[in-house]
Amino acid sequence: MHMANIERVAVLGAGPGGMAAAVALARRGYDVTLFNRSEERIATAQERGGVEIEGDLGEDFVPLSAITTDPETALHDRQLVLIAVPAYGQVPLAKIALPSLRPDSIVLLLTGSCGSLEVALLFREAGLDLNRTVLLGETVTLPQSARMVGPAKLRIKLPSNIRSAAFPGRRTDELIERIGDTLRLLPKPNVLDPGLNNPNFLIHPAPMLLNYAAVERADGYLSIMNEGMTDGVLRCLDAVDAEKMALCRAVGLEAITIDDLYRETGSGPHVYRKKGEPFGLRDRIWPRYINEDVPYGTVLMSSLGDLIGVPTPVCDSINHILSVVEQVDFWSTGRTVEKMGLAGMTVEQVKHYLQTGDQPEGWS
């Protein structure tokens, strides 16, 4: 495959994942701009004009065309727009990008979590025809996993191909063809496939709930992937995985286990099933393990299950109890079928909408 005529890329979001996506492409010769809403996160990179890297890409300093808080500067004449933020930031950044999009722009949500369905409603309201103009899609995870090891320094690990789809699904082949080898995408039938198969939804909420006291006692310094993964906790994790696979089967998608998802990205189940400390570290547990992966993960699965008649009792329990523990109503803040534009649809209508983008007759 080739560069597919993509030369100019904007990356929106300067967390580790966004920075890694930007520098990985810039290092390969793409003209890359990096946008972040707040200046604090990008100040050092702005001063230096780029980002230092180590890890799978080697040690290097990678300059970027622009590192900015000005959306017009970042988005001017960009062929590919990568939105690389937590799920709760996807729609706000899509709104920021909207005025600067070209008719032939590709907008790709990295780790979409079905966010493309929410963004599609925003774009439709703005008058965009997603069958003919802007090409919208999402991936299951980030193209590179990365960790900040300094103010503008990243340690990068490269995964293998990542599950991806366009919305509507009938444009997925076009997405893959136009992206070319810019990113290593693994095409799937529709955005529910990458959306439901985000490993974080399975790996984080149940273990965080079942280890809550230990996390609080350690002031957040706990290796949830190892210290937190006892046999009982893993049984709960596998039960969430079983509910996810039941949802996939119900909408006609491949049902793949969490273990196989990890193998697919070049890793493996030893990351969370092996006793001990394979990484030799204890990270401060990210609040996002709950405040992203519950509302945009287990709530999403529960809401979809309610819609299509697939029981999700373990996800439901996690959502209820963590709402109490965290004092947040994750049911109301989460990514529900209402917010994705699926409410009231039958299974067949959901499948048709995901493939065509055409809402059922009489839908507003």
Does the residue 362 lie in any domain?
no
Continuous segment of H or E residues that includes residue 50:
strand 50-55
> Could you give the CA distance from residue 311 to residue 295 in angstroms, rounded to a whole number?
18
- According to the model, what pLDDT value does residue 218 have? 82
Domain final residue pick, 177, 196, 215 = 196
| pLDDT beyond 70 at 363 | no
Domain that holds residue 110: 8-196
Please give the single-letter amino acid code of residue 342. Answer: L
Alpha carbon of 1 to those of 24, 182, 217: distances in Å?
18, 9, 51
Residue 336's CATH number: 1.10.1040.10
The answer to whether residues 185 and 218 belong to one domain is no
Residue 146's CATH number: 3.40.50.720
The answer to whether residues 219 and 276 belong to one domain is yes
The answer to whether residues 282 and 311 belong to one domain is yes
**Tell me: the pLDDT tens digits for 286-302?**
788 999 999 999 999 99
Does the residue 42 lie in any domain?
yes
Q: Which is more confident, 163 or 160?
A: 163
Under DSSP, is residue 21 helix (H, G, I), strand (E, B) or coil?
Answer: helix
pLDDT > 90: what percent of the chain? 81
Domain final residue pick, 145, 169, 196 = 196
CA angle, residues 334, 158, 168, in degrees to nearest 5:
45
CA angle, residues 307, 311, 312, in degrees to nearest 5:
100
- According to the model, what pLDDT value does residue 1 have? 38
Does the residue 328 lie in any domain?
yes
Domain final residue pick, 172, 196, 220 = 196
Under DSSP, is residue 266 helix (H, G, I), strand (E, B) or coil?
Answer: coil
The answer to whether residues 166 and 208 belong to one domain is no
The answer to whether residues 219 and 323 belong to one domain is yes
Number of compact structural domains in the chain: 2
Q: Across residues 179-205, what is the average pLDDT?
A: 96
- According to the model, what pLDDT value does residue 221 have? 76
The answer to whether residues 34 and 167 belong to one domain is yes
The answer to whether residues 207 and 244 belong to one domain is yes
- Model confidence at 3, pLDDT cuts 50, 70, 90, reads very low
Does the residue 3 lie in any domain?
no
β-pair partners for 62? 51
pTM for the model stands at 0.95
Q: What is the mean pLDDT of the chain?
A: 93
**Tell me: the pLDDT tens digits for 223-263?**
888 788 999 999 999 999 999 999 999 999 999 999 999 99
The answer to whether residues 21 and 134 belong to one domain is yes
The answer to whether residues 192 and 224 belong to one domain is no
**Tell me: the pLDDT tens digits for 300-352?**
999 999 999 999 999 999 999 999 999 999 999 999 999 999 999 999 999 99
- Strand pairing class (50-55; 153-157): parallel
